[in-house]
Amino acid sequence: MNTCRCLLVDDHPIVRRGVRDLLLHEQLCSEIEEASGGEAALEAIRREPWDLLLLDVALPDKHGLEVLKETKLLQPRLPVLMLSLYPEKEFAMRAIRAGASGYLTKQSAPSELLTAVRRVLQGGRYITEALADQMAEALEAGVEGALHARLSDRELQVLRLFGQGKSVSVIAEELALSVKTVSTYRARILEKLSCQTTAELIRYAIDAKLDE
């Protein structure tokens, strides 16, 4: 059995159980510790070294990309594989730039997860064909031309939720933030996207296909 010690971070117990059983069955890891939030994950990373971090993007207390960035300060050589419900076009490029070794959506087949884990444990990166195309387009453009490329990770997450038609109060509850904080994010997003109203934000998100 591989002696890999894995830290699995996801707020859904069923997801954690499925990933844990898969990795143990395939003997890719000898020890798996679970965490349901970003702060608990960072506490574990501060406490001891790990061989692999499987990290969800959407966590209840801290955005996964923020956890990724802090992780890379604490354990720079730790391979991090991001798992997310979000489509690759939203966060994959940001995750790779922040130091992730790979990015998979949770709709991926179990066999693809196993392939990705093996690749990153060997020191490589796992890039899907869709992400490779996205990176190539970004290179051709020189810099990402979309206005939402200027947004922070959290701002992009808030914009996406506005695009789904959710109100400030619903977004606040979903992200475990105060209404005032979400309103502050809304104001920043309006300024960065040169929009005047929430309706314009929603239209922008839909046109940019950020509402999926």
Distance CA 62, CA 43 (A): 13
Q: What is the pLDDT of residue 23?
A: 94
Tokens representing 137 are 């387009």
The gap between the terminal CA atoms of the chain, to the nearest Å, is: 39
Q: What is the pLDDT of residue 140?
A: 61
Q: Which residues of the chain are under the pLDDT cut of 70?
A: 1-2, 87-90, 134-146, 211-212
CA nearest neighbour of 126 among 96, 146, 154: 96
**φ, ψ at 101 (rounded to 5°):** -90, -15
Instruction: Write the CB contacts of 190 (distance below 8 Å, at least 6 apart in sequence).
Output: 196, 197, 200, 201
Q: Which amino acid is at 142?
A: G
Question: How many other CB atoms sit within 10 Å of the CB of residue 204?
Answer: 22
Indicate the helix (H) or strand (E) that contains 5: strand 5-9
The two beta strands, 80-84 and 5-9, are unpaired
Q: Which amino acid is at 127?
A: I
Q: What is the pLDDT of residue 80?
A: 97
Helix, strand, coil shares of the chain, percent, nearest 5, are 55, 10, 35
Q: What is the pLDDT of residue 152?
A: 84
Angle at 142 between CA 141 and CA 147, to 5 degrees: 70
Residue % of the chain over a pLDDT of 90: 51
Look at residue 20 and give its three-state secondary structure.
helix
Q: What is the pLDDT of residue 92?
A: 82
Q: Which amino acid is at 181?
A: T
pTM confidence score: 0.72
pLDDT tens readout for residues 63-88: 899 999 999 999 999 999 999 887 66
Q: What is the pLDDT of residue 4?
A: 92
Structural domains in the chain, CATH included, are: 5-139 (3.40.50.2300), 147-207 (1.10.10.10)
**Cβ atoms of 195 and 162 closer than 8 Å:** no
pLDDT tens readout for residues 40-63: 999 999 999 999 999 999 888 888
Angle at 123 between CA 38 and CA 84, to 5 degrees: 35
The CA–CA distances, whole Å, from 116 to 50, 113, 138 equal 17, 5, 23
